[in-house]
Amino acid sequence: MNAELQINRGRLLDRLDRLAEIGAIEDGGCCRLALSDEDRAGRDLLVSWMRELGMVVRIDAIGNVVGIRAGLENVMPVMTGSHIDTVRTGGRYDGNLGVLAGLEIVAVLNEAGLVTRRPLAVAFFSNEEGARFAPDMMGSLVYAGGLALEDALATVGIDGSSVGDNLQRIGYAGDAPCGWLRPHAFLELHVEQGPVLEREGFDIGAVEGVQGISWSEFTITGMSNHAGTTPMSMRHDAGYVAAATGTFLRELVKETGPSQLATLGHLQLAPNLVNVIPNRALFTVDLRNIDEAALQQAEQRLFAFVETLAAVEGVTVNHRLLARFEPVAFDRELVGRVEAAARAQGYRVRRLPSGAGHDAQMMARLAPTAMIFVPSVGGISHNVREYTAPEHLEAGANLLLNLLLELAA
């Protein structure tokens, strides 16, 4: 461990603030939806910082950006990174911390005149959030070979435009083939986005893996009719099926226990008028579970519920699977090193699974991978009130620094 090398907290906080100015919304939050003009501006800022740090920047065909700091030997690099796209009501740390901590570490090494044996790579992946174009972790999934480039480019988002068109529009359809750089190891620093570390008084999370994710989109088609003249027995109410599904999800998780999570996050009714029975309902269901068999169970029960109710109500159902990732276990040896290094640096550390999806779960298909979590105040994320204390941001970045030096030696 390189005790004397420390990150510069002020510079890291300053970069987080400057990136947060791009797509700034109320109360210090950020809205930089994937491949939007705000995302482009954020990308441009980070690429300029990478270049200022003397890094070689390469952009691949799905817009993943990798900055490389040369090592003494031309061997597989140690890679860190995350994402800088946000949800519509995002905070300033989700994803951004992992990328900016990587740049801060390069700045520290430059100042120290220290060149690692292995090159260091800092990446930010396209469309991690999946909020505009599903699935989430799209850029790292293509990078890891889990989704064909042309399928990703053809994906149409919630506003009707495609990934490929938007990538061209913002000028980030790069020439590097996806997955062109296979790392020796991948380590991602990220805010926990949940309540565990804060509630139990830990500084660091040594993340053991990521729970399974299932995103479904349902389109229910019924018949619009007059809200006042149509007897209840004659209705084909798409809105009722959507609302009943939301209630069913709560019943489902009550029965299956706390490891099952279920969210009806997006709901659109048409014609969306107070006195017209909805003839169309478009809604999404996000199911998560650390146990794959239980997640499949939950999916089967959801699909059966919607189909059965639709038959009774006399409406039709169209179902699209927007994302489906099985649980991922990170590299045991690397998780152990995260835990040991945290302890050696005097941090209170515990192991835990990740509730959120991350680019690391895709990079785990290519190389030994692990994650470092720092606490989220109140467990809040995907919310402008997302906050992590500066001392925890610094602790996470210092831990990342030491682990990258160890791995790149």
Residues lying near Mn ion in the complex (CB under 5 A) are found at 94-95
Helix (H) or strand (E) run with residue 295 in it = helix 292-313
Nearer to ligand HGY, 98 or 278 (CB): 98
Residue with tokens 């009719």: 225
Q: How far is the CB of 2 from Mn ion (least distance, A)?
A: 28
- Which DSSP category does 298 fall into? H
Q: How far is the CB of 162 from Mn ion (least distance, A)?
A: 22
Q: Between 354 and 373, how does the x/- string for binding to ligand HGY read (CB under 6 A)?
A: --xx----------------
Residue with tokens 């682990």: 403
Q: Which stretch binds ligand HGY (CB under 6 A): 49-57, 124-132, 147-155, 310-318?
A: 124-132
Grouping H, G, I as helix, E, B as strand and the rest as coil, residue 73 is: coil
Q: How far is the CB of 344 from ligand HGY (least distance, A)?
A: 30
Q: Which stretch binds ligand HGY (CB under 6 A): 71-79, 125-133, 232-240, 313-321?
A: 125-133
**Token pair listed for 156:** 């149409």
Q: Between 129 and 158, how does the x/- string for binding to ligand HGY read (CB under 6 A)?
A: xx-----x----------------------
- Phi, psi at residue 332, to the nearest 5°? -60, -40
Rounded to whole angstroms, the Cα distance separating 214 from 298 reads: 10
Q: Is residue 108 close enough to count as binding ligand HGY by CB under 6 A? A: no
**Token pair listed for 106:** 């390069």
Q: DSSP string of 113-151?
A: T---SS-EEEEE-S-SS-SSSSSTTHHHHHHTTSS-HHH
Name which of Mn ion, ligand HGY, none residue 95 binds, using a CB cut-off of 5 to 8 Å depending on partner kind.
Answer: Mn ion
Rounded to whole angstroms, the Cα distance separating 243 from 42 reads: 38
Size of the site for ligand HGY (CB under 6 A): 6
Q: What is the CA radius of gyration of the chain?
A: 22
Q: How far is the CB of 87 from ligand HGY (least distance, A)?
A: 7
Nearer to Mn ion, 193 or 216 (CB): 193
Give the residues lining the site for ligand HGY (CB under 6 A): 128-130, 136, 356-357
